[in-house]
Amino acid sequence: MDDLNSPPVDASMDTGMTEFLLSAMYHPETLSHWIQKQETKMRAFCLILTSLSSFLMALYTSTNVNRWWNIRTQGIGGIKAATLDLQWTVCQCVTRDNDILSAIRRYGQASLKLFFLWRGDGEKGQLTDSIKEQLMEDD
């Protein structure tokens, strides 16, 4: 028959955990001793979590910088490069008229401004009246 002073133990509990709980209940000094023994393991676990979170933060930052660079070079840089290529081609092969070259440059600038106004507006994909007004303003 079980000892009346011992608490009931669930049969599904691990025997090591059961022994620890029983010894912690009857010998409180073992709990502090066990915590002191586990301190190095807890510190190692914290170090692992810190390293993991640092790695994930670096990966997240790298992904965001990469996405920004792609937008910068392929999106905005593409518009600027296309404008310059068109301007140089027209200048070399067609005409050197400053009005025509200035019009090409203005269309490129308007494209960039339209892109930024469209990205900054709350209604994505639609050309609102406020965007049209800002696009027609003289800079």
pLDDT tens sequence across 38-57: 889 999 999 999 999 999 99
Which residues, 6+ apart, have CB-to-CB distance to 50 below 8 Å?
Answer: none
The answer to whether position 135 is within a domain reads no
Give dist(CA 52, CA 50) in Å, integer. Answer: 5
The answer to whether position 58 is within a domain reads yes
The answer to whether position 84 is within a domain reads no
Query: How many H helices and E strands in the chain?
Result: 5, 0
User: What's the pLDDT at 112?
Assistant: 84
The answer to whether position 54 is within a domain reads yes
Domain that holds residue 40: 15-73
The answer to whether position 109 is within a domain reads no
Q: Compute the 3-state secondary structure of the chain and give helix, strand, coil in percent, each to the nearest 5.
A: 80, 0, 20
The answer to whether position 47 is within a domain reads yes
User: Which amino acid does the sequence have at 12?
Assistant: S
Q: What is the pTM of this model?
A: 0.46
Quote the tokens at residue 96: 């050197």
The answer to whether position 95 is within a domain reads no
Tally of structural domains, the chain: 1
Quote the tokens at residue 129: 């009246």
All residue ranges of the chain with pLDDT < 70 are: 1-17, 23-30, 119-127, 131, 135, 138-139
Give dist(CA 47, CA 97) in Å, integer. Answer: 67
The answer to whether position 89 is within a domain reads no
Quote the tokens at residue 116: 């930024």
Phi, psi (rounded to 5 degrees) for 115: -60, -45
Q: How far is CA 25 from the centre of its chain?
A: 47
